[in-house]
Amino acid sequence: MAAPAQRRALGALFFVLAALFGGIAFAAARARVWPVAAAAVALAFWLAGMAARGLRGR
């Protein structure tokens, strides 16, 4: 089990990555590149879930 400080740091990292993938999904959707947009949305939701677990207290 990771230390609480390390869990928060990982949660913050996953939050930033989820936001970046959300931006990629938005840009791909505007460019009508649907496979990339769908993959980026899936990754953004997956990383957002990991961020929520990392940032949530015990």
Give the residue extent of every domain in the chain: 18-58
User: What is the Cα–Cα distance from 48 to 14, expressed in whole angstroms?
Assistant: 7
Contact predicate 10/2, CB 8 Å: yes
User: What is the Cα–Cα distance from 15 to 21, expressed in whole angstroms?
Assistant: 10
Instruction: Please tell me the predicted confidence (pLDDT) of residue 35.
Output: 98
Scan for tokens 């207290």, then name that residue: 57
Instruction: Please tell me the predicted confidence (pLDDT) of residue 58.
Output: 64
Scan for tokens 């953004």, then name that residue: 44
Cα Rg of the chain, angstroms: 13
Instruction: Please tell me the predicted confidence (pLDDT) of residue 5.
Output: 82
Q: Tell me: the pLDDT tens digits for 1-58?
A: 567 788 899 999 999 999 999 999 999 999 999 999 999 999 999 999 999 999 886 6
Instruction: Please tell me the predicted confidence (pLDDT) of residue 24.
Output: 98
